[in-house]
Amino acid sequence: HDLRNEDLKDLRELGQGNGGSVKKVEHLPTGTIMAKKIVLIDAKPSVRKQILRELQIMHDCHCDYIISFYGAFISDPNICICMEYMDKGSLDGIYKKIGPIDIDVVGKVALAVLEGLTYLYDVHRIIHRDIKPSNILFNSKGQVKICDFGVSGELINSIADTFVGTSTYMSPERIQGAQYTVKSDVWSLGISLIELALGRFPFAESSSDDSDLSDFEGTLSPSRPHPTISLTREQKDKKKKRKSKGVSLQGGGMTMSILELLQHIVNEPAPRLTPEGRFPREAEDFVDSCLLKDPDARKTPKDLLKHSWIERSRTATIDLEAWASTF
Ligand code: ADP
Ligand code: MG
C-alpha cells in the first residue's frame, strides 16, 4: 500500500503556504482523490528519513475533527504528505469568498477545533502549534477538520530553520519565548474565531482601498524582510497620538511592520468580538477567555469544551451541509 509519486496524478493547485504547496491529486490505482502537500526541506537525508518516521504517527490519528492521513514519502528534495481532500477548502478562503461567517457556524467551528485539539493532546500528547483559518478545513458534508499539526519535531525544526513562520496568530507568551503549550493553541483559536466572525484579520484594516488580505499574514522570512500589517482605525488614532516611530505611510494607509505587530500583541489589550451587542454574550465571553493574555489564567481546550457557548453550539441544529451548498 505504499504511496508513490508515480501513482499520483496532479489535478490542480489548492494553495501555497510558507513551506511549500498543496495540490489536489488522484491516486490512480484506487481512484482516491487526495490533497498532496509538498514541503521543501533543506535537510540531510538522515533528517528527512527521521521526519518521515515521525509523520507515521498520523496513521494513528483517528478523529472526526482531524484530517485523515494516507501516507508520506520523500520525493527528492521534497517531502510529500498525502491527506484527505476537503472540497470546500479552508475557512480563510471561505470568508474571503462569502464574507463574515455566521456566528452559529463559527460556534460549530470552535467546537470542532476544541474537540480536535483535545483528541490530539489527550491521546497523542501532540500540541497543534499552527491553529489559523487556513488550517481549518471544510467539506460539502458539513464537516470541519483541522490539519497541519506539529507531529514531527524534526519537521518543525527544519521549517523553523528556513522560516520563522506566520507569527500573527502567535500568543503573547510564545512571542516572549515561552514554551508552546495547548494554551497557546487556544489563543490562536480566539484570534481565528474573531477573524471568521468579522470577516477580517482582527489586527488589520478591513475595507481600505489599499488593503490586500494576502499581505496581512506577515512572516519573519529572510526573503520577506518588511511585511506590513494595516492597522484598524482605533489603532491608527492611538499610534498618531503616541507619535510612535516606525510608522510608515503606504498607499495612503498606515501600516505596521511584523515586529510592531508582535509588540502590539504583547503590550496591548487582546482583540475582542466587537462591536458590543452584535454577537451573543456567550460568544463574546468565550473569545475573551481564549484571549486571556496570561497563559496561567487561560483554560485548556478540554476545559473550554464545557463553556456554555460550546455546549450550546454542540446542540445547535444548524445544518452545515446545507450551509456548505450555498457557496
Ligand atoms: P497555509 O496553511 O499557510 O495557507 P499550506 O501550504 O498548509 O499553507 O496550505 C495551502 C492551502 O492549501 C491552504 O490555505 C488550504 O486552502 C489548502 N489546503 C491545504 N490542505 C488541504 C486539504 N487537505 N484539502 C483541501 N485544501 C487544502
Ligand atoms: Mg496549512
> Given this model, what pLDDT does residue 260 score?
85
The pLDDT mean for the chain works out to 85
C-alpha 147 to ligand 2 mean position (Å) = 7
> Given this model, what pLDDT does residue 203 score?
86
Shortest-distance Cα residue to atom 15 of ligand 1: 90
Give, in order, the Cα–Cα distances in Å from 89 to each of 33, 104, 147, 151, 234.
14, 19, 11, 22, 33
Ligand 1 atom nearest 20 alpha carbon: 6
Greater confidence (327 vs 155) lies with: 327
Percent of the chain predicted with pLDDT > 70: 81
- The winner for highest mean pLDDT among 116-130, 142-156, 233-247, 255-269 is 116-130
Model pTM score: 0.86
**Exactly one of 7, 42, 76, 130 is catalytic; which is it?**
130
> Given this model, what pLDDT does residue 321 score?
98
130 tagged catalytic? yes
Q: What share of the chain is helix, strand, coil (3-state, %, to 5)?
A: 40, 20, 40
Ligand 1 atom nearest 90 alpha carbon: 16
DSSP 8-state code for residue 69: E
212-235 tens-digit pLDDT: 333 444 333 333 334 444 545 445
Pocket-testing residue among 8, 10, 22, 144, ligand 1, by greatest number of atoms within 8 A of Cβ: 22
> Given this model, what pLDDT does residue 27 score?
98
pLDDT at 93 over 70: yes
Which region among 61-70, 169-178, 240-249 has the lowest average model confidence (pLDDT)? 240-249
- Residue 37, marked binder: yes
The residue with cell 515521525 is 54
> Given this model, what pLDDT does residue 209 score?
35
Ligand 1 atom nearest 148 alpha carbon: 7
pLDDT at 83 over 80: yes
159-170 as b/e: b if 16+ CB within 10 A: beebbebbbbbb
pLDDT at 256 over 90: no
Mean pLDDT of 136-154: 95
Question: Alpha helix (H) ranges present in the chain?
Answer: 45-55, 91-98, 103-124, 153-162, 172-175, 182-198, 233-242, 258-267, 281-290, 301-304, 308-315, 320-324
14-31 tens-digit pLDDT: 999 877 899 999 999 999
The residue with cell 471561505 is 94
Ligand 1 atom nearest 86 alpha carbon: 24
Shortest-distance Cα residue to atom 2 of ligand 1: 134
The residue with cell 474573531 is 194
Shortest-distance Cα residue to atom 14 of ligand 1: 134
Q: How many CA atoms lie within 13 A of 45 on its CB side?
A: 2
Sign, Cα dihedral of 112, 114, 116, 122: negative
> Given this model, what pLDDT does residue 257 score?
78
Are the beta carbons of 128 and 171 closer than 8 angstroms?
no
At 294, list the grid cell: 496570561
Pocket-testing residue among 27, 134, 217, ligand 1, by greatest number of atoms within 8 A of Cβ: 134
Give the angle subtended at the CA of 203 by the CAs of 200 and 208, to the nearest 5°: 60
Are the beta carbons of 300 and 182 closer than 8 angstroms?
yes
C-alpha 189 to ligand 1 mean position (Å) = 17
C-alpha 89 to ligand 2 mean position (Å) = 11
7: confidence class by pLDDT, cuts 50, 70, 90: very high
Q: Is the ipTM of this complex over 0.90?
A: yes
Which region among 113-117, 159-163, 199-203, 313-317 has the lowest average model confidence (pLDDT)? 159-163
Task: Please give all residues whose beta carbon lies within 6 A of any atom in ligand 1, as ranges.
Answer: 14-18, 20, 22, 35, 67, 83-86, 89-90, 93, 134-135, 137, 147-148
